[in-house]
Amino acid sequence: MSVAPTSQTGLLVLPHTHAFQVLAQTGDTLSDGSNLRYGPDFTAFVPIDARSDSGYLSLNHEIASLQGGVTVFDLTFDHLHKFWEIEQGLPIDFSAVGGINRPCSGGITPWGTVISGEESILTSDLDSNGYNDSGWLIESRPSDRQFVQKIWKAGNALHENCVIAADQKTLYWGADDQTHGYIFKYIAAQKRQLAEGKLFVLVRDDSISSTAAWVQVPNYKPKFCNNINAYCQQIGAWNFSGIEDVEIGPAGKIYFAAKFSGRIWRFKDNGTTISDLEIFVENTLYPIHTAGTTKWTPWGIGADNLAFDNANNLWVLQDGGDNHIWMVKPSHTAANPKISLFATTPAGSEPTGITFTPDYRFMFLSLQHPSIVNRDTALDVTGKRIVFNRGTTLVIARKEFLGTYEFPNDEPLSESESIELQLYPNPSKTGQVILISNLFSIGKQVEITVFDPTGIVCFASQGYAEDNKIALDFQAKAKGVYIVRAILDGKIGVTTLMVE
């Protein structure tokens, strides 16, 4: 069963069988006193000792000009209350290599590191090592928050993600490039050691061929690594027009998403050649079945992040179209489509970075750049009121696995039940601000609660309005994003305050 296929609203809309917990939002205070950066993308759950109740959450920040980042948190599941505890959020230091540029999606290695794809090329060479400053696959280690290496021999391109095969040597990746959208295979010289290896690109005879060959790309000098696009174009590598995610699916087939066409392709790798190259999901209309009705719904462009669950269902996060979260069953065919619409996302946002725990009960993802004017509120499984108006990282699961909170109402607040709030100044350097609402009037008593960046109540009072204003002073003790809630005559308003 699907959710209703609609355009974006101010909320994350899930099936009634599922719930969510917000783990972090842009501006939250980290353990070193800094604030969580914007642009959340690849959201990698890296298990500790293959456990599904403890691990690291590695979060990419897709920011340009070598100003991007990766933040790592410790995650532990509270089995009593059935929610995740998140702590020790710290950024990885990439200063030794001049920074990281637009780390978009990525992949998790079998040995517990994360590989992030830089989705932007800088042809400068500030450290004079012969290699371009950005446009690489970059390996980092969440366990100790350390940069590991730039994988030069895998080539310089507009990287999105990569996936590691079971042999712990073979790596597949594609170029998120409309004119050089090639698919590559990199075979490392040694298991778990990716610094040295051979690079291959897929060359296809024509647009209807279901076979193709892997052709080796020179990568033994920096100038060759920097210029793989030119060489691939020269030898006739096939352009799939913006390859986003690449994943290994059922029967070992390689699946990949092509952003500009919206298609999802797959093929069988035979070593030096491939076969069974075909479109698995076409960009067309599909029957979406909801309670009591069926609606033919466009798939749209922008198929982006992919992941398989333990039933071999393919999860598709969309960057374009309506920015939906889709689920495709393994038995799907063009003649007998098996596609569900799992979720619609908050206005302005793009769902990013899907990964699962080893038992596949918990799905981790982020919502990048939601609209700052979103005002609708929703409750997560901890009972916390959430406004999707900044980058948000969350976990989703069936309700029997996540949360014990008894929701008073599964529906969002209607306009007649909510209060529109404003704060001035915002941002502020202190907690001294003015809370403003057109519903306030002289002598009206307003119940005010302020939550600090960790979600703990730091201020509560019964304030009285002067005209449409109430003066607040809650003595903010840390920088970050504070949630301000006001209740008046049974109506609720929620807004955010950035303390700098």
pLDDT at 281 over 50: yes
pLDDT at 260: 95
pLDDT at 406: 57
Domain segments of the chain as ranges: 18-398, 418-499
Whether cis (ω within 30° of 0) applies to the bond prior to 425 is yes
- Tell me the pLDDT tens digit for each residue of 152-180: 999 999 999 999 999 999 999 999 999 99
pLDDT at 372: 93
Phi, psi torsion values for 181, nearest 5 degrees: -85, 65
pLDDT at 482 over 90: no
pLDDT at 367 over 80: yes
- What CATH number was assigned to the domain covering residues 18-398? 2.120.10.30
pLDDT at 414: 45
Which residues, in sequence order, are CB contacts of 241 under 8 Å at separation 6+?
178, 179, 181, 258, 259, 260, 261
**140: helix, strand or coil:** strand
Q: What is the mean pLDDT of residues 440-459?
A: 79
Tokens coding 198: 């051979």
pLDDT at 415: 44
CATH class name, domain 418-499: mainly beta
pLDDT at 416 over 60: no
Average pLDDT, the chain: 93
Q: Which of 188-202, 223-237, 408-422 has the lowest mean pLDDT?
A: 408-422
Q: What is the pTM of this model?
A: 0.82
Q: What is the mean pLDDT of residues 411-427?
A: 69
Domain 18-398 and domain 418-499 have a common topology:
no
Confidence grade of residue 18 (pLDDT, cut at 50, 70, 90) = very high
Confidence grade of residue 477 (pLDDT, cut at 50, 70, 90) = confident
% residues pLDDT > 70 (the chain): 97
Which residues, in sequence order, are CB contacts of 325 under 8 Å at separation 6+?
315, 316, 317, 318, 341, 342, 343, 344, 345, 351, 365
Q: What is the mean pLDDT of residues 357-379?
A: 96
**Nearest to residue 37, comparing CAs of 46, 47, 27, 48?**
27
Confidence grade of residue 98 (pLDDT, cut at 50, 70, 90) = very high
| Burial call 21-48: b when 16+ CB within 10 Å, e when fewer | bbbbbbbbbbeeeebbbbbbbbbbbbbe
Confidence grade of residue 453 (pLDDT, cut at 50, 70, 90) = low
pLDDT at 217: 98
Q: What is the mean pLDDT of residues 58-79?
A: 97
Q: Taking the C-alpha atoms of 21, 24, 29 and 32 in order, what is their torsion angle to the nearest 10 degrees? A: 110
Pairing of strands 193-204, 314-318: unpaired
Rounded Cα distance, 303 and 453, in Å: 33
pLDDT at 413 over 60: no
- Tell me the pLDDT tens digit for each residue of 301-316: 999 999 999 999 999 9
pLDDT at 417: 54
pLDDT at 382 over 50: yes
pLDDT at 410: 46
pLDDT at 436 over 60: yes
**Nearest to residue 498, comparing CAs of 23, 67, 26, 22?**
26
CA 34 from chain centre, in angstroms, equals 21
Which residues, in sequence order, are CB contacts of 169 under 8 Å at separation 6+?
187, 188, 189, 190, 191, 197
Q: Between 394 and 408, name the one with better pLDDT.
A: 394
Q: Between 416 and 346, name the one with better pLDDT.
A: 346
